[in-house]
Amino acid sequence: MAEETIFSKIIRKEIPADVVYQDDLVTAFRDINPRAPSHVLIIPNKLIPTTNDVEAEDELVMGRLFTVAKKIAIEEGIAEDGYRLIVNCNPHGGQEVYHIHMHLVGGRPLGPMLLS
């Protein structure tokens, strides 16, 4: 059984967060340490620790991350200029919180994709 993170508490509204969207499958809230004018985290309500733990039964919720990202990008006014969606996995991927999250980052030119 995976260990809950602070994100489960945000989903259940047990700790404050700037939640911009929530439905039966996913929750989206502003990153506490934004790296760009728009920086929103979109997460499954179900605890899936990393992309290594995604199963076929999770395909609906994982797809929902993308449709909600698109909706929020439009609301943030960044859809046309563009943005970046990032999912980090494990230490080499730079993952800090072990509850899958999609970063939606935009609002300025983001430069080349980081590979180092």
Q: What is the contact surface with ligand 5GP in residues (CB under 6 A)? A: 6, 17, 29-33, 41, 88, 94-97
> Which one, 51 or 95, has the nearer CB to ligand 5GP?
95
Q: Give the residue ranges of DSSP H helices in the chain.
A: 6-11, 59-76, 90-93
Q: How far apart are CA 80 and CA 83, in angstroms?
A: 9
> Which one, 37 or 94, has the nearer CB to ligand 5GP?
94
Q: Which residues contact 88 (CB under 8 A, 6 or more apart)?
A: 94, 95, 96, 103
> Which one, 41 or 62, has the nearer CB to ligand 5GP?
41
Write the DSSP symbol of residue 33. Answer: S
Is 101 an annotated catalytic residue?
A: yes
User: Cβ 82 to ligand 5GP, closest distance in Å?
Assistant: 20
Catalytic residues, by residue number, are: 101
